[in-house]
Amino acid sequence: MTQHDVFDQQTTFADLGLRDSVLKGLTEMGFVHPTHIQAQLIPHILAGRDVLGQAKTGTGKTAAFGLPILHLADKDIASQALILAPTRELAMQIVREINELGSGTPIRATGVVGGESMTRQRDSIAGGAQIVVGTPGRVMDMLGRGSLRFDNIRFVVLDEVDRMLDIGFREDIRKILGKISGVHQTIFVSATISEEIVRLGRRYMKPDAQRIATIAKSLTVSQVTQHYVTVARRDKQRVLLELLTQEDPALTLVFCRMKVTVREVAQYLNDHKVEAYEIHADLAQGKRNRIMERLRAGKLEVLVASDLASRGLDVDGITHVINYDLPEDPEVYVHRIGRTARAGRSGTAWSFVEPDQGQMLTEVEKLTGVLIDRLDYNLSEKPVATHHTTQNIGPDFAHQPPAPGSNPGSAPKPAPEPDPIDPAAFPGGVIPKGPPPRTIGSRHRTRRSR
């Protein structure tokens, strides 16, 4: 995939009609061209339309709704925009990105999430922040306490709306949307759009709402080299250790289904001299924040995570994603591997598949439209990528190719060495004129090497 597949290089942000103060901040940061989803969504939002937007993970959806809100917001109206996100990490990432993009404007965003001081959040809202970003649960709590009011709401955004529905926020979302009665715009954005989301849009959006999709043949960007490894459950930890030490990826996320597995895997890696951190729902918020700060600063190389992090880790330079546990929901796979290959970069995704999980892998392929090739891996030997067939998998691996009409992908390739950060790409979905302030190129630190 080339830069043209992600960015609309025939269009600049100035062409989209953004006001000078928004363009000033973008110019100072060196951003010139929008991604395709930004180029399509921004004009509709600027025109006042409700929008249901779908695009691949990592193509700049936050800026797609954040920039037009920065353009349209009134500096004298507090709490006029409400943005809902499924996790605390994603909500705070949105706050940071909007405040960075809007550095040339008087508009500011604040976060309303659990695990943080409610008093501080209440004071921030009272201080006049124009944009409130939060998780549905904390927003409902603040609303019930009278610390947050919807009187001034002009914009409502549901980011990663499918994930919010998946993790049980249906009733909170309906209650929140039902309490916003004034004239306002409603914007849904996500990597996947289900029929339930469409029904939700019909109920709470205007009849002329626009549905914009930049999804073509595949839900996953082609810069992600995807492979699976057939591995018995008892061998998973050993295979993971060897992949990390032999392949030596620069910055790796390891996803596990259960919190107990996250802890066990992180402990195993540390016991074997690979420095690994863990992040999951049981971790104290302060510790989660510190780990995220280290991750963004490039001061850790392996992070073992539960799925709470699959949409909240919008971090520059993640080179590899490893599905230690294959997710039961294929859409979770899309969002996990979307943590790498963001905005034009390349990345690698490896999935551990147990012998009885062939159908789960098939469901992933059907959803993504990509035929995932097998990585033949023998302990203590270098892996070799092979194009799989039902015959070479074995009778216990009931794996079938994707349904007709899907994109089978390209011929198998060995996992590439991590690319240097491309100075022509930026994870927010825009192209800077100069190189980024840092690069991710360090190798695993071990306790022995300190």
Find the mean pLDDT for residues 393-410: 38
Q: Where are the beta strands (DSSP E) in 182-309?
A: 185-190, 210-213, 224-230, 252-255, 277-279, 302-305
Does the model's pTM come out above 0.85? no
Residue 267: partners with Cβ closer than 8 Å, 6 or more residues away = none
Of 52-61, 111-120, 411-420, 434-443, the least confident: 434-443
**pLDDT classification of 385: cutoffs 50, 70, 90:** low
**pLDDT for position 9:** 83
**Residues forming beta bridges with residue 311, ordered by sequence position:** none
CB 299 within 8 A of CB 324: no
From the list 248, 302, 254, 276, the residue with the least C-alpha distance to 418 is 248
The pLDDT mean for the chain works out to: 80
Q: Please give the pLDDT value at position 395.
A: 29
Tokens of 274: 């690979």
At 172-205, the pLDDT tens digits run: 999 999 999 999 999 999 877 888 999 999 999 9
What is the predicted pLDDT for the residue at 428? Answer: 41
pLDDT at residue 225, rounded to an integer: 87
Better-scored residue on pLDDT, 283 or 78: 78
Higher-pLDDT residue of 439, 60? 60
Task: Please give the single-letter amino acid code of residue 170.
Answer: R
The pLDDT, as a whole number, for residue 168 is 82
Query: Tens digits of per-residue pLDDT, 276-319?
Result: 999 987 888 788 888 888 887 878 889 999 886 555 566 767 88
**Dmax (CA) of the chain:** 67
| Cβ(131)–Cβ(139) below 8 Å | no
Distance separating alpha carbons of residues 144 and 138, to the nearest angstrom = 10
Average pLDDT of the segment spanning 218-222 = 55
How do residues 318-348 score in pLDDT, each as one tens digit?
A: 889 999 999 988 888 888 887 776 655 678 9
pLDDT confidence tier of residue 137, bands split at 50, 70 and 90: very high
The rounded percent of the chain whose pLDDT value lies above 70 is 77
pLDDT tens track for 141-165: 999 999 999 999 999 999 988 888 8
Whole-number CA gyration radius for the chain: 22
* Residue pair 94/145 in contact by the 8 Å Cβ criterion: no
Q: Would you state the pLDDT for residue 344?
A: 57
Partners of 230 in the beta sheet?
A: 353
| Residue 100 to residue 202: CA distance in whole angstroms | 33
Confidence of residue 241 (pLDDT cuts 50, 70, 90): very high
pLDDT value at residue 436: 37
pLDDT at 218 exceeding the cut of 60 = no
End-to-end, the C-alpha distance of the chain in Å comes to 39
What value does the mean pLDDT take over residues 394-403? Answer: 37
pLDDT for 448 equals: 38
pLDDT at 415 over 60: no
142 φ, ψ (degrees, to nearest 5): -65, -35
Question: Mean pLDDT throughout 422-433?
Answer: 40
Q: Is the pLDDT of residue 254 over 70?
A: yes
Q: Is the pLDDT of residue 349 over 80?
A: yes
Q: What is the pLDDT of residue 185?
A: 97
What structural domains and CATH numbers belong to the chain? 3-213 (3.40.50.300), 224-386 (3.40.50.300)
**What pLDDT, on a 0 to 100 scale, did the predictor assign at position 310?**
55
pLDDT score for 5:
57
pLDDT for the residue 333: 87
